[in-house]
Amino acid sequence: MAHLAQTAPSPGASARPLLDVRGVTLQYRTRHHLVTATHRVSFQVCKGDRFVLLGPSGCGKSTLLKGVGGFLRPVEGTMTLQGQEIRGAGPDRMMVFQEFDQLLPWKSVRQNVMFPLVTGGGLSSAAALDRAMKYIVKVGLEKFADAYPHTLSGGMKQRVGIARAMAMEPSMLLMDEPYAALDALTRRKMQEELLVLWNDTRFTTLFVTHSIEEAIVIGTRILVLTPHPGRVRAELNSVPDGVGSPAFAALQRRIEDMLFAPEPAAEVDHA
């Protein structure tokens, strides 16, 4: 099949990208089948990017995230982080999932955030406590530092998960539809909080979603993937204007046309 889209250059692309994904095909095996999740996907993420993988269910978004996380090796192509091939998981890539049960129920908020710092980060208890509280404050949960997960709302649990991941100070934060299970109002609030946090720390994130609106709100760059197996449909700059602005609505319609129109047979989008 012909290549479907020309990748637009990322802002700051003259510098070496933090993450470089080149021609990656990923497969996984179910009980009965070998599934090709993505086909020759390429993109680059630069330091400080909020890079969004957007597409319908089954297009390989989460599988790509697992590949970047080091949990799945490509059958074709390469993935490099800071110039080094990704060969396995590591503390330089921390994941935040959509499930609320990612916290240890017998540990408090403070203890949950401290746990990987001591067990995997090599910090002393005192140093882990200082860093954990730094990020607990950043996500606005300092008053709940001694609370246990069963007393927290879904949104608060996600904020603990984000604080725990960020406390490891990874090169990249990997977020797999972290707000998908939240109600609409909480989801919007969490999106806004993530942007405030990004403005404060300028962390790099690779964010998976199937929501066009969320992709535009969260992302500085958006990679649009075709239905299964996922191929690159287009790579787009997001818009600085808020929800409801003409530029926001125009980009939303453009992406909708890409996702819901018949798949093109040749290169059509030059972002």
In the predicted model, what is the mean pLDDT of residues 100-116? 91
Q: Where are the beta strands (DSSP E) in 65-216?
A: 76-81, 84-85, 93-96, 172-176, 205-209
Contacts 24+ apart (CB under 8 A), 32-39: 36/229, 37/63, 37/64, 37/228, 37/229, 37/230, 38/63, 38/64, 38/225, 38/229, 38/230, 38/231, 39/229, 39/230, 39/231
At residue 12, what is the residue type?
G
pLDDT higher than threshold 50 for residue 11: no
pLDDT (tens digit per residue) in 146-195: 999 999 998 899 999 999 999 999 999 999 999 988 888 988 999 999 99
- Rounded to an integer, what distance in angstroms lies between the CA atom of residue 168 and that of residue 118? 10
The answer to whether residue 89 is domain-embedded is no
In 3-state terms, what secondary structure has residue 51? strand
Close Cβ partners of 114 (under 8 Å, ≥ 6 residues apart): 125, 128, 129, 132, 167
Confirm whether 154 is domain-assigned. yes
pLDDT score at 10:
46
Which residues, at least 6 apart from 183, have a Cβ–Cβ distance to it below 8 Å?
none
* Weakest mean pLDDT among 101-105, 204-208, 219-223: 101-105
- 27-53 burial code (b ≥16 CB/10 A, e <16): beeeeeeeebbbbbbbbbbbbebbbbb
Q: Is the pLDDT confidence value at 271 over 80?
A: no
Q: Find, among 202, 194, 261, the residue nearest to 234 by Cα.
A: 261
pLDDT of residue 111: 96
Domain assignment of residue 252, yes or no: no
Q: pLDDT category, 5, cuts 50, 70, 90?
A: very low
pLDDT of the residue at 4: 39
By residue range, what is the domain housing residue 149? Answer: 104-169
Q: What is the mean pLDDT of the chain?
A: 88
Ramachandran angles phi, psi of 88, nearest 5°: 180, 180
Of 160, 140, 163, nearest in space to 151 by CA: 160
Nearest to 163 by CA among 180, 46, 152, 269: 152
Q: Give the pLDDT confidence of 182-220 residue by residue, as tens digits.
A: 888 988 999 999 999 999 999 999 999 999 999 999 999
Residue 44, in any domain of the structure: no
What value, to the nearest 5°, has the Cα angle with vertex 155 and ends 149 and 157? 25
- Is residue 128 included in any domain, yes or no? yes
Contacts of 138 (CB under 8 A, 6+ apart): 163, 166, 197, 200, 201
pLDDT at 37 over 70: yes
Nearby residues of 165 by Cβ (< 8 Å), 6 or more positions away = 94, 95, 96, 173
Q: Give me the residue label for tokens 């204007």.
A: 241
Give dist(CA 172, CA 196) in Å, integer.
Answer: 17
Terminal Cα distance for the chain, rounded: 20
What's the total number of domains in the chain? 1
Contact 242, 212 (CB under 8 A): no
Q: pLDDT tens across 120-146, in order? A: 878 899 999 999 999 999 999 999 999
Q: Is the pLDDT of residue 24 over 90?
A: yes
Q: Which helix (H) or strand (E) holds 53?
A: strand 50-54
Q: CA nearest 186: which of 100, 90, 128, 106?
A: 100
